[in-house]
A and B are shown apart, each in its own frame.
Chain A
Amino acid sequence: MAASAARGAMALRTNIGRPVAFVRKIPWTAASGELREHFAQFGHVRKCTVPFDKETGFHKGMGWIHFSSEEELHNALQQENHIIDGVKCLKSPTLR
């Protein structure tokens, strides 16, 4: 948790074409369930993946949230801060 909070930022990114948000700097304490729970407030989360590294047993701090629609994705991106497990998260501009 604290490790990823070093720079205090979790960032969202969109994947052009599909309503997918890319989330970074997820605290280690959270997994896909927590992410899904958090993002459910913005719309229907079709799929949520937080890949774990089988070598370490930790995830890599990144995740993908698949929404049902662009609008829901937009809702999520609109929000300034995303706080998961007490880690304050910031949004970064779309990078792809």
Chain B
Amino acid sequence: MAALLRPARWLLRAAAAPYLPLSLRLLAGGPGRPHAALCLRAARARPVAGGLLSQARLHSIAAEKKNYLQEEPTSSHRRNASQFDWALMRLDNSVRRTGRIPKTLLQKVFDNTCHSGSAGGNQALLLLRSCGSLLPELKLSERTEFAHKIWDELQKLGTVYDVSHYNALLKVYLQNDHKFSPTDFLAKMEKGNIQPNRVTYQRLIAAYCNMGDIEGASTILGFMKTKDLPVTEAVFSALVTGHARSGDMENAENILTVMKEAGIEPGPDTYLALLNAYAEKGDIDHVKQTLEKVEKSDLYLMDRDLLQIILSFSKAGYPQYVPEILEKITYERRYIPDTMNLILLLVTEKLEDTALQILLACPISRESSQNDFGSFFLRHCVTMNTPAEKLKDYCKKLKEAQLHTSPLQFTLQCALVAQKLDLAKVLMKALKEEGFPIRTHYFWPLLVGHQKEKNVQGIVEVLKGMHEIGVTPDQETYVNYVFPCFDSIKSVRAVLQENGCPHDDNVFSQAELRSKAVNGNLDYILSFLESNTLPFSFSSLRGSLILGFRRSMNINLWSKITELLYKDGRYCQEPPGPTEAVGYFLYNLIDSMSDSEVQAKEEHLRQYFHQLKEMNVKIPENIYRGIRNLLDSYHVPELIKDVNILVEREKTDSRKPSSSDLESKLEKLKAENQPIGDILKQLILMLCSEENMQKALELKAKYESDMVVGGYAALINLCCRHDNAEDALNLKREFDRLDSSAVLDTGKYVRLVKVLGKHGKLQDAINILKEMKEKDVLVKDATVLSFFHILNGAALRGETETVKQLHEAIVTLGLAKPSTTLSSPLVTLYLEKDDLPAALESTIDCYEKYKILPRIHDVLCKLIEKGETELIQKAMDFVSQEQGEMTMLYDLFFAFLQTGNYKEAKKIIETPGIRARPTRLQWFCDRCIANNQVETLEKLVEMTQKLFECDRDQLYYSLLKLYTKKQNIVFDNETYARLINLLLMKDNSTQAMQVKDFAETHIKGFTLNDAANSLLIITQVRRDYLKDALTTLKTALDLDQIPSRLAVTRLIQACALKGDTESIHDIQKLVNGLEDSIGLSRMVFINNIALAQIKNNNIDVAIESIENMLTSENQTVDPQYFGLAYLFRKVIEGQLEPALEKISIMAERLANQFAVYKPVTDLFLQLVDSGKVDDARALLQRCGAIAEQMPILLVFCIRNSQRPGKAPVMKSLLELIPELIDKEEAYTCLMKSYVFDNDVTSAKALYESLTAKNVKLNDLFLKRYAVLLKNAGESVPFTEPPESFEFYAKQLKESKETHL
């Protein structure tokens, strides 16, 4: 926004002018009288009407922003500051990146401003200024309308306008060719009690001149003269235009002479005015002559000036001259946004042919084949309703010119987004002609628009369009995009017929079927399948059918439908056949349900499987195994046997011996009186896997004496699966009799407990639990989970005693600890019965016994739903008393959120004094994510906006997780940027990159801002991804961003440590010209290149080049700033002895032969700093001048005194150079260091040596020393200065300033 705000800054400065130095006061154009030359330059900085804005770099923006905010009148607008900041940033980003502002963005900023209820003067200025040439995509009249809307609305909000606002409005008028009466405008200002200033008059003159009204312009000029205002180049330029437009070219030319006589040399602006005047007349000869004249002078016309001439030619109806001007354009990179804006403007003005001409002349497009350069042009053409045939032609040309790889597809996409059916049809036909397929989903965006408005006619039009193009609507088209627009599918059919909309009856019927299935209308499905005559595949219906089954629990219909699909020749008869298809369907049905759903529907499913069995439906064994694993993982192994009955036995592997084979073998052995133990066990195991309980039990009875432990274990398990508690228990007793020390595995014990509990054999179940404890059976996490499922199942069946007694036994035996999960069935019991008082009682009871509050959230939710005020009060009192008020508030907050009582939730979370509890918030977030509660989570994020100490990033991250899970990502740019920043700060660069990838997929033109890119570079460097970091740096610079100094420095340093000289040179080239903006010293490169060379063993090269730099005639860096401390430190740290030696020789040589002392002093200091005091001393002895380099030494002292742990270094330095103590800066720093490190002894010595010298010590020094002594428990030998550190620091600073 630098360019937008710059004039405002001058004006604001004007108010403060009396306090500014003379030169600035002149610039400010305030009370002082500016001379023309300065004004000329200021005028030149303003954007010209083609669009066009100087490409200011960020540093200047940041600086101006700072000034700007400081200059903001303090009290009243303070709260607007951050709002303003935000608006500024958004608009600034846009202008900086594209040279323009999209209308939607300006609208958004404006709406936000209105929404905030007030707007400061600066904000108003910002908005007004955006309404001119920065909006090339808007018609001129619309832009002015926008400006007026902003003006009126903000005035209503109480914004006070001053002269700058009026001037801004004037400028917008000029840029938009808005016709208005300057006298009325002046009257309006007078009414508002605003004095016009020079700028006002200047612009009013321009307004008259634009209308060709020289007389009007002269009147204003007269005003200016009476007020003694200077006439600037801008005024003369306007007069050139004025004369030209009044048809008087001769006098237009004459103005230049008049100017010269008045002592003002015509500048580029004046010439541009003249050039435009000729262009408007179509006078190419004079344009060329004038251009030549300018070329010969020392003036220079920029690309954007030439673009302006092109605009004039085209608007005046002389496009034939455009190529001649285009030839002169240099296409400098920084003017590309200007060029793009001119192209957009021309399209807006319906001069799209000229726009294309310019686009095709642009050389950049061919540079990078990756980028489809013409997209912005095509999109805008679509918006501006450029005729379809023309667009087709443009696409062809863009493709031929290799500007765009797929212009037709892109334009079609734009047409679809804009819901332009006719254009879309033309483009699709064109695509088809070129041999591209036209796909059904191309029409969906068009249907979506009509669907939202329930516009039946619109839908019909699109369907007709599809037919025209030769595309048949598929099921998805009907189900997702057509049906929702109608009340019933019947009416869809009727409307389609009525309108002669051809449709494939088969597809339509299947779509209808799917639609009904999804809604759980199984009756319809059945009757359809029965009456249907057209064959189609089962798999196409699978997904919808599963949804339908889950919505309707009519098992008879489930079975009938499955049977029909299985048996009827119309369905799933083609390979792999019905067995496979139905098996796969059952697997998917169960897979689509959650474990709790399967548990709840256990009986239904059992019934279903048995009905299928009756119907003789079969499934393959391999799919059965998949289902078995699923059921096991869902904790419902009881259903396994019920699925097993469906397995197609005939096809099982014939190589394996069957159970009957084994049985005859067994009988044979028995008859031969041979041992049968092994074969018996094998047979029982096989019968178990076939779920043949009856047979297995008979076998056991027959050969009881030959049974072994393993056989019993398998049998017990089989009976449990078959819910046969009686036999399971008997078998267990026999098992114990066989071997009382034998132990079953944990799973079998658990299953026994479950079955016994389920059949009311509570004491037996408890005995099993006791045995588990006695035999020290391994209890894993999964076991505890199984316990929970046992208890929960009982709770869902309402078996109060079972739940209570088993829970009691598990907890008392110590098999598992009570927890909010394990103990929750105690509460579930009553929640299921809707007995809320008992549920609450049970929760409270758990707290009293175990200090846990199971399902308190669910209890509260139910209480709220039922409006049980008294119980809520009771619950709250209890929680409040036991766990504190804050916990209670959170419980209530979550319960209100969960039940959709957002107003109440908001009130709770806004309770004064409430602060963020990260773990609780996270708990709720995770819950929302698990249950797919998008709205609830969004509300949570929204409501906690002002919550004290709330980690917003964490909440946004949760939201992202949920959106990602639902594959429904709708973040805006800012949220993404925020997330990426967060992840980078958490040093989670992998995830940050993941989010970035996502963001790039979802937001067109998504880019990271400067700060995020800088952070990214730093993270990449830290993780040693130097190549990536270099790429990031390139990307940032390509976006005209200014990366942080830290980021660039880190990258350079990392490259140096790798000895990668080449990359450092690359970076140097990349940031060339930006060093000041980044704040990058040349020394960073010099140090690191040398270091890299040294790392590569090119010590001599490194040293030679440094020496050359320091001794050559034209030094780029002043020797006194030629700091090599970093290099020296790295060399010392890296113990690169040969390099250190050569460096030392170089430093000494520079000192002794060239009197350049900076390197040797730096080396000396780095030696001291690294604790190499002897080396330092030796160096000092060889080169005594080091001790005289006071400024360097003092800077070192000051820097070191700001860091802890430097007391020893400072002490060594003082020992080596004792004369340092005479310097106030030095001894102050020394004391500071000693205090930092609590070095009382050294501090005392320092104090004593100073007092011995009778040095007058300042209060700050004394205060520091006194505090150190006091903290060490020692007495202070003088009166401690009474005020604070800050006080003395300030005092000291002030005394130094007055001293100066």
Give me the interface of A with B, judged by CB distance under 8 Å. Answer: 1-8, 11, 24-25, 27-29, 31, 33-34, 51-62, 85-87, 92, 95-96
Contact = CB atoms under 8 A, between A and B. Distances in A.
Contacts of B441: 31, 52, 57, 59
Contacts of A57: 416, 441, 444-448, 481
B1005 A6 contact: yes
A60 B967 contact: yes
B556 interface: no
A7 B999 CA distance: 12
**Leading 6 A-B pairs by shortest Cβ distance:** A57-B445, A57-B444, A2-B410, A57-B448, A1-B409, A95-B994
Nearest to B414: A3
Interface string B978-994: 00000000000011011
A62 B967 contact: yes
13 contacts: A2-B406, A2-B407, A2-B410, A3-B1004, A7-B1000, A27-B409, A54-B448, A54-B480, A55-B448, A56-B445, A57-B448, A58-B445, A60-B969
Given A29-B409, A31-B439, A61-B1001, A2 B444 contact: no
A29 B410 CA distance: 9
A2 B997 contact: no
A55 B442 CA distance: 14
Given A1-B410, A5-B405, A95-B990, A61 B445 contact: no
A56 B451 CA distance: 11
A1 B1001 CA distance: 12
B514 interface: no
B370 A25 contact: no
A24 B405 contact: no
A59 B445 CA distance: 10
B855 interface: no
A16 to B, nearest CB: 14
A60 B1001 contact: yes
B1105 interface: no
A58 B404 CA distance: 22
Contact of A62 (B413, B439, B1001): B1001
Chain B interface mostly:
helix
A95 B407 contact: no
B953 interface: no
Interface in B395-431: 404-407, 409-410, 413, 416-417
A13 to B, nearest CB: 8
Contact of A56 (B448, B480, B1000, B1001): B448
A95 B444 contact: no
B305 to A, nearest CB: 31
Contacts, number: 86
Given A11-B997, A95-B990, A86 B405 contact: yes
Given A6-B372, A57-B446, 13 more contacts: A1-B413, A4-B1001, A5-B372, A6-B1004, A34-B439, A52-B441, A52-B444, A56-B448, A60-B1002, A87-B406, A92-B997, A95-B993, A95-B997
Contacts of B375: 2-3
A31 B997 CA distance: 20
B997 A24 contact: yes
A69 to B, nearest CB: 15
B371 interface: yes
Contacts of B370: 5, 8
A95 B410 CA distance: 30
B349 to A, nearest CB: 25
Contacts of B1001: 4, 24-25, 60-62
Contacts of A2: 372, 375, 404-407, 409-410, 413
Contacts of B968: 53
A52 B417 CA distance: 14
Best-buried of A11, A57, A60, A92 by chain B (most CB within 10 Å): A57
A14 B446 CA distance: 34
Nearest to B994: A95
A60 B1004 CA distance: 12
Nearest to B446: A57
A90 B1283 CA distance: 66
Select the residue from A3, A31, A53, A92 with max chain B CB neighbours within 10 A: A3
Contacts of B1002: 60-61
A88 to B, nearest CB: 8
A1 B406 contact: yes
A47 B1125 CA distance: 62
Contacts of B439: 29, 31, 33-34
A61 B998 CA distance: 10
Nearest to A51: B967
Nearest to B368: A8
A82 B957 CA distance: 31
A95 B968 CA distance: 19
A61 B1002 CA distance: 8
A27 B375 CA distance: 15
Nearest to A25: B1001
Interface string B362-389: 0000000011100100000000000000
B473 to A, nearest CB: 13
Contacts of A56: 417, 445, 448
Contacts of B1004: 3, 6
Contacts of A55: 448
Contacts of A52: 441, 444, 480
B860 to A, nearest CB: 35
A3 to B, nearest CB: 6
A45 B826 CA distance: 47
Contacts of A11: 997
Contacts of B444: 52, 57-58
A33 B437 CA distance: 12
Nearest to A8: B370
Contacts of B1000: 7
A96 B1001 CA distance: 17
B678 to A, nearest CB: 38
Contacts of B406: 1-2, 5, 86-87
Nearest to B990: A95
